[in-house]
Chains A and B, each alone.
Chain A
Amino acid sequence: MDDLIEDGKNNKWVMCKFCESKILRPSTASYEERELFLPFMQKKKDLAGTEHKGETLKRHWLVADMFAFENVGFSMTVDSIKYLACADCERGPIGWHDINDKTKFYIAVERVEHRQITQ
């Protein structure tokens, strides 16, 4: 994790794991630990065939303004939560936003790719 953070911010591009759509520029988001429940991106079943709906993730990138994102999709609201998805391939959820707090937009570190690109 340390190799992704510099001065409390993301030191690399945050991108979609699947289609390489750019989500956040380097040093635009701060690192924040908070337990957030995100539904799985794909349906998951264990050996007994029980379906798991999601998981609690702790490590996130946080931005205060939705227009800090380069490209991102916002889902419809479910119980005051909007889930974030890739703007291009729409895979997600990659992030979380509670509409009651307009200053917090989270991207789960585990659900995105981090890359150094020269541009």
Chain B
Amino acid sequence: MAKKSYDYLFKLLLIGDSGVGKTCILFRFSDDAFNTTFISTIGIDFKIKTIELQGKKIKLQIWDTAGQERFHTITTSYYRGAMGIMLVYDITQEKTFDNISKWLRNIEEHANEDVEKMILGNKCDMDDRRVVSKERGEQIAKEHGIRFLETSAKTNVNIEQAFYNLAEDILKKQLSKDNEETSQNIHVNNTQEKKGGCC
């Protein structure tokens, strides 16, 4: 049997009103001309990406809401096991920003209590059509104690950064959890070494 080739697996969700560009955040070439093939027709369900943080190999499993948000209910099953949520609005659409509070309540209701969240103001490449100032985004994030970034999926601004930041926050939490467990287990089994794989 092959040994586990990674240290951590984080399940991440993208949430927000439809049309805010969630799909473009996850699927970076969705606007490109060549993307008229079979895959773009049926759509992508989720992606697996591997990143390295603090010497740990981390697998990210990233899910889009796949249109469920149109019904204004994201079901509990979708949130199950989610460790990180990217909450996305469109800086050119006031309503999508107003709905951030609604999504935060939805998350509170359905997601794990300790899920890491992040707010993204997307489409910052369209500054001429901006209706939500950066300050307002920062403000709501601050009120809820969440990280905030303005992103452009189109020009690839802060997208990688957003995933790394969110993964970092989850890792921080995991590491402190692991430490607690290790110190609790120390009397039970002090020979067991908690160590990630090397490759």
Residues of chain A having any CB pair with chain B under 8 Å: 22, 25, 28, 39-43, 64-78, 82-83, 85, 87-93
Determine the distance from Cα of A39 to Cα of B44 in the docked complex, in whole angstroms.
15
The tally of CB-CB contacts under 8 A between chains A and B is: 84
Instruction: Using known A-B contacts A28-B2, A28-B5, determine if residue A78 contacts B49 with beta carbons closer than 8 Å.
Output: no
* Given known A-B contacts A67-B59, A83-B38, A90-B35, A76 and B48 have beta carbons under 8 A apart: no
How many residues on B have C-beta within 8 angstroms of the other chain's C-beta atoms? 27
Please report which residues of chain B, range 73-129, place their CB below 8 angstroms from some CB of chain A when the two chains form the complex: none
B170 to chain A, nearest CB (A): 16
B2 engages A68 (CB within 8 Å): yes
B16-40 vs A, CB cutoff 8 Å, 1 = contact: the mask equals: 0000000000011110001101111
Contact with A along B38-69 (1 / 0, CB 8 A): 11101111111110000000010100001000
Residue in B2, B6, B29, B40 whose Cβ sees the most chain A Cβ within 10 Å: B2
How many Å lie between the Cα of A65 and that of B84 in the bound state? 22
For residue A89, which residue of chain B has the nearest CB?
B29
Contact status B44-A78, CB under 8 Å:
no
Q: Nearest 4 pairs between A and B by C-beta?
A: A39-B38, A92-B39, A70-B50, A73-B47
Interface residues of B (CB under 8 A from A): 2, 5-6, 9, 27-30, 34-35, 37-40, 42-50, 59, 61, 66, 199
A87 touches B42 (CB 8 A): no
7 A-B pairs (CB sep. < 8 Å)? A67-B9, A73-B44, A76-B44, A78-B42, A82-B45, A85-B44, A90-B44
B6-A71 in contact (CB<8A): no
Complex Cα gap A25–B52 (Å): 15
Q: Which residues of B have CB within 8 Å of A68?
A: 2, 5
Q: Are B6 and A87 in contact (CB under 8 A)?
A: no
Report the Cα distance A91→B48, complex, angstroms. 15
Min C-beta distance of A14 to chain B, whole Å:
13
Contact of B28 among A43, A76, A83, A88 (CB under 8 A): A88
A90 close to B45 (CB less than 8 A): no
Q: Are A69 and B39 in contact (CB under 8 A)?
A: no
Question: What residues on B are CB-neighbors of A73 within 8 Å?
Answer: 27, 39, 44, 46-48
How long is the Cα–Cα vector from A89 to B9 in the complex, in angstroms? Answer: 23
**CA–CA, A28 and B42, complex, Å:** 28
Could you say which residues of chain B place their CB within 8 Å of the CB of A72? 47-48
Known A67-B9, A68-B5, A77-B45; judge A90-B29 contact (CB<8 A).
yes
Q: Which residues of B contact A67 (CB under 8 A)?
A: 5-6, 9, 48, 59, 61
Contacts of B44 in A (CB 8 A): 73-76, 85, 90
Contact B47 A76 (CB under 8 A): no
Question: Are A90 and B42 in touch, CB under 8 angstroms?
Answer: no
Q: Which residue of B lies closest to A69 (CB)?
A: B48
